[in-house]
Structure 1
């Protein structure tokens, strides 16, 4: 009886194994994706801020390359998740037609002519932040925030600046790691 039970069990195992092989093909499913860092919050005081250069005398912007004094400003990101260690800002805007490393001033009636805006890292004014460049700042692990220290100035790439408004937009797009 024991022998018959073993033979029957063996035949079920073989039949089950054969049925598995006959049932169909093995299918691989590839799963892809990317885990990204949760974004920080841009501080309300940094969103849509205005850097005011006040009045600049046209006589100071007569020769090509003449510029105003640098004006410091900062952009702060906060409430960063603990796992986020770096904030990267990529700069964009309309490049000046005579120097692509500068941002164009407005072209509406009443806007100053022959001037552009230059943006740089505040600590190193030679680190120009033109269209398409990036800047990385480490997130403080205690405050979960980071500050982008920047500076801007008005410059005349061609000389002979004409009177009018200074009106330019520089965008910063953030990514996090």
Structure 2
């Protein structure tokens, strides 16, 4: 009986010794992404209506020649209260592009014909559908300086309304 007990003890010890060698190593990788916190869009920049004609209307005769345009109208989109760690704001523009020049023109959805709405940065950057522009955050803020006007590629603008809707989407780095 003593011999059986000793053999059973040795057998159990051998199994216990062999078990750790049957275990596999495990590798764990922990990951995360730290993203930039968003800025606040200034209340004056959330919804903008820009009067291309200054509220006075255009004369159709002034937009009869190919390449004719109204005067530029400047406006700003302001980002404020940008948190520490947010260094860049990327603006992506979207709207219905005008077929004549989708690089900087948006289709007129008003009733005037042969006219589009042109959108640029005040430095002359073309801001057509899908274009992006990156601004560097300084003092927790950034202002996108833009300009817009009515433009005719072919001339022959007919009387009516001019309207285009453009959306600015902001992401942060």
What's the C-alpha RMSD, in Å, of the aligned pairs? 2.1
Moved more, 145-154 or 128-137: 128-137
Correspondence for 2:161: 165
Correspondence for 1:49: 48
Bigger Cα Rg: 2
Q: 1:117 to 1:16 in 2, by over 3 A?
A: farther
Query: After TM superposition, what 4+ stretches of structure 1 lie above 4 angstroms from structure 2?
Result: 14-17, 29-33
Correspondence for 1:147: 143
Correspondence for 1:37: 36
Following TM superposition, by how much is the alpha carbon of 1:162 offset from its aligned partner in structure 2, in angstroms? 1.1
Question: Could you tell me whether the CA contact under 8 Å between 2:52 and 2:148 is conserved in 1?
Answer: no
* TM norm structure 2: 0.82
Correspondence for 2:70: 68
Correspondence for 1:135: 133
Partner SS state of residue 70, structure 2: coil
Deviations 1:95-145 (A, max 9, x none): 1122212100105xxx211111111111x22x111111111111123xx11
After TM superposition, the structure 1 = structure 2 runs for residues 7-22 of structure 1, keeping only pairs within 5 Å, are 18-22=18-22
Following TM superposition, by how much is the alpha carbon of 1:167 offset from its aligned partner in structure 2, in angstroms? 1.0
Partner SS state of residue 73, structure 1: strand
Following TM superposition, by how much is the alpha carbon of 1:43 offset from its aligned partner in structure 2, in angstroms? 0.9
In 1, distance between residues paired with 2:30 and 2:159? 60
* TM norm structure 1: 0.81
Following TM superposition, by how much is the alpha carbon of 1:92 offset from its aligned partner in structure 2, in angstroms? 1.3
Correspondence for 2:4: none
Following TM superposition, by how much is the alpha carbon of 1:94 offset from its aligned partner in structure 2, in angstroms? 0.5
Aligned length in residues: 158
